[in-house]
Amino acid sequence: MNNSAPVIEVEGISKIFSGKTVVNRLSLQVERGEIFGFLGPNGSGKTTFLRMLCGLLRPDAGGGRCLGYDLLSEVEKIRSRIGYMAQHFSLYDDLSVRENLDFMARIYAVPKRRQVVAETIEQMGLEPFAGQLAGTLSGGWKQRLALAACLLHQPELLLLDEPTAGVDPMARRDFWEQVYALTAQGISALISTHYMDEAERCNRVAYLAYGDLLTAGTAEEVVSRSGLSTWAASGLDIQELAARLKGVPGIELTIPFGNNLHICGTDSGQLEQSLRPFMSDERFRWQKQETGLEEVFISLMNRQARGGDGSH
């Protein structure tokens, strides 16, 4: 495909299950070499969207191209060029790491199978475990093996559905190092996640809530478009403070983070004016703060729940 063309270019794609719209006219572009993060609460349609991209589900409306191939008519070409890591990927617990990869390589009819499996084991740092039964690996190494299995047929695009769910922080960091190394080689990745720190590692992010794409862009764009200003109050009694701030004009959102309460509003003047009387309370230290993705996503969700147009 044309190297400058987006790897994913979809327009208005929808999926309806039993009369319920699960993905609602979603349009999105992912550029080559990009790590694109896909966030949203459980059941918002992230998996359904990924499955439409890799041809496992057919969109009920809309269409587009994945790696330059048509989503509706060239599904086989797409499938052979993408690596899909499903949320509940399955490995054979009673096969070794090498046997698992060899088996997957046979299924994909990978040419020079033995050589490719050996190279993949080396590339993914799996040598120390090559002879070990997959069922005895730690969660992080199982994840690594599942990623290795997606790479055997040398895909151009990875679709990773919550690849680090339930994995400890060190293993998550290692996993991201691998993803960076792969994208440095020109592979693109669309990754769904619930972790905010992972969202911040992506070149661009999108937030999906119950089928609707609420925002997409770089973290800076998403934050700036939200128009939110944030103050943080730190102290021990922040739950009580949060309760007192409820319904105060200009305060649209409060989120506790440990001993900090983040307080947000889109009218920064009104927010400051409303907070001023609380700032004389010596139990708290007050600080203006950069708005983060988490504040933006929660605010968008709240607006959507209140029936806003969700177009921010």
Ligand X SMILES: Nc1ncnc2c1ncn2[C@@H]1O[C@H](COP(=O)(O)OP(=O)(O)OP(=O)(O)O)[C@@H](O)[C@H]1O
Strand partners, 191: 37, 160
Name the one range near ligand X by CB under 6 A: 38-46, 92-100, 101-109, 269-277. Answer: 38-46
- The helix or strand, by DSSP H or E, that contains position 221, with its residue range, turns out to be helix 219-226
Say how many residues touch ligand X, by CB under 6 A: 12
Of 189, 179, 185, give the one whose Cα is nearest residue 158.
189
N-terminal to C-terminal alpha carbon distance within the chain: 33
Pick the closer one to ligand X by CB: 198 or 252.
198
Span interacting with ligand X, options 36-44, 95-103, 109-117, 241-249, rule CB under 6 A: 36-44
Nearer to ligand X, 45 or 55 (CB): 45
Residue 205 binds ligand X, judged by CB under 6 A: no
In angstroms, give the least distance from the CB of 222 to ligand X. 18
Stretch that binds ligand X, among 16-24, 144-152, 177-185, 297-305 (CB under 6 A): 16-24
Of the residues 14, 24, 48, 254, which one makes contact with ligand X according to CB under 6 A: 48
Among 198, 222, 239, 189, which residue's Cα sits nearest to residue 290?
222
Whichever of 137 and 191 has its CB closer to ligand X, that residue is: 191
Of 51 and 98, the one with the shorter C-beta distance to ligand X is 51
Asked if 43 interacts with ligand X (CB under 6 A), we say: yes
What single DSSP character describes residue 96? B
CA distance 311 to 68: 28
Q: How far apart are CA 230 and CA 14, in angstroms?
A: 35
Query: Which residue shows structure tokens 């003047």?
Result: 269
Shortest Cβ 77–ligand X spacing (Å): 24
- Considering only 10, 22, 253, 296, the residue that binds ligand X (CB under 6 A) is 22
Nearer to ligand X, 46 or 262 (CB): 46
Amino acid (one-letter) located at 282: E
40 contributes a contact to ligand X by CB under 6 A: yes
* Nearer residue to ligand X within complex by CB, 42 or 185: 42
Is 44 a binder of ligand X (CB under 6 A)?
Answer: yes
- For residue 171 the two structure tokens come to 């293993």
**How would you label 117-143 residue by residue, b for 16+ Cβ within 10 Å and e otherwise?**
bbebbeebebeebeeebbeebeebbbb
166 binds ligand X per the rule CB under 6 A:
no
- Kindly state the smallest distance separating residue 89's Cβ from ligand X, in Å: 13
Angle at 32 between CA 27 and CA 36, to 5 degrees: 55
What is the C-alpha R_g of the chain?
Answer: 22
Residues 6+ apart with CB under 8 A from 143: 163, 164, 167, 171, 175
Does 12 engage in binding with ligand X (CB under 6 A)? no
Residue bearing tokens 């400058």: 4
Cβ–Cβ < 8 Å for 16, 62: no
Task: State in angstroms the smallest separation of the CB of 162 from ligand X.
Answer: 6
Please identify, using beta-carbon distances, which residue of 52 and 238 lies nearer to ligand X: 52
45: contact with ligand X by CB under 6 A: yes
Residues in the site for ligand X, rule: CB under 6 A?
17-18, 22, 40, 42-48, 87
